[in-house]
Structure 1
Amino acid sequence: MTDGPAVDSRPTKIMYVAEATAHGGREGYVTSQDGQLDLKVAMPPQLGGDGNGTNPEQLFAAGYSSCFHNALILVGNREGYDLTGSTVSAKVGIGPNQQRGYGLAVALSVSLPVLDPGLASKLVDAAHEVCPYSNATRGNIDVTILLG
């Protein structure tokens, strides 16, 4: 799947604002203003840390997979399909980029066991257009969607 031309996906109305604060960067902790999030953050061993905590890539994977799954359920319901039993998993990779910084890549794995592959692909494409994470990352990072 490839992304088409850039489309203005900015919200016309803000309906909710999440607020989180990092303390100590990748070797500290993160909290949300409402107290729902309070997590130790640690570098994974692959990046030189001890791995005794979550990391931004895991948090991004959790956010993207849950958001994309909700978009998938939304478009499925709009078309009259029950997507019970469906799942979305996200793998978020990090590595050096050509600008001497770091970049991300995402692989989403979508399981729609009750639908034929053609219909499943159509719903995944529609969810990719609806999902705020997909809209935010489009044209900025590589996102691969695998349907299985």
Structure 2
Amino acid sequence: MGKMIYKTSAKAEGGREGKVKSEDGVLDLQVAVPESMGGSGGAFTNPEQLFAAGYAACFDSALNYVAKAADKEIESKTTATVGLNAQSATDLDLEVTLDIEISGVDKDDAQKLLEKAHATCPYSKALDGNVDVTVNLK
């Protein structure tokens, strides 16, 4: 294991019908089950939205990192779509689609940067072999 450069924690109370709060209080949100899953929905977040936001930010950062290392100036936008799939009532899994827009390089260079970012991003590496992840250059 390498040298840890950052560490944080968050606490959940009440599961999908409760709240989440980071140790520093910056993240302090109520969570609720979405209507599509039989919940009340409303103006509350859920674990899949939080995961999508984290993955999108991490991947976009990895993309910009590998572009800079390759001496390429780009602008990018990464959208992560997280799906929760029920194999049965007790067997759930995730799937992720990353849609990435890149300007400043041609399509071939953009594709190479995407592949390098996917191999570099800590979220992508953590999910490798565990979650179906589709990466699309838009």
The answer to whether the superposition gives a TM-score over 0.5 is yes
C-alpha distance in 1 between matches for 2:102 and 2:6: 29
Residue 36 of structure 1 corresponds to which residue in structure 2? 26
For residue 58 of structure 1, the aligned residue among 49, 55, 65 is 49
C-alpha distance in 2 between matches for 1:48 and 1:13: 43
C-alpha distance in 2 between matches for 1:29 and 1:77: 38
Residue 131 of structure 2 corresponds to which residue in structure 1? 141
For residue 62 of structure 2, the aligned residue among 44, 64, 71 is 71
* Offset at residue 95 of structure 1 (A): 1.3
Residue 95 of structure 2 corresponds to which residue in structure 1? 105
**Unmatched runs of 5 consecutive residues or more in structure 1:** 1-10
* Offset at residue 99 of structure 1 (A): 9.1
Q: Look up the SS of the partner of 1:97 in the other structure.
A: strand
More strand by share: 2
1:91-130 matches, cutoff 5 A: 91-97=81-87, 100-130=90-120
C-alpha distance in 2 between matches for 1:127 and 1:111: 13
Q: Look up the SS of the partner of 1:58 in the other structure.
A: helix
For residue 13 of structure 1, the aligned residue among 3, 24, 36 is 3
For 1:81-114, what per-residue CA distance to the aligned partner results, in whole angstroms no more than 9, with x for missing partners?
1113x10000000011369410000000000122
**Cα RMSD (Å) of the superposition?**
1.3
Q: Look up the SS of the partner of 2:130 in the other structure.
A: coil
Size of the alignment, in residue pairs?
137
For 1:55-93, what per-residue CA distance to the aligned partner results, in whole angstroms no more than 9, with x for missing partners?
000000000000000000000000111113x10000000
* Offset at residue 18 of structure 1 (A): 1.5
Once superposed, which parts of structure 1, at least 4 consecutive aligned residues long, lie more than 6 Å away?
none
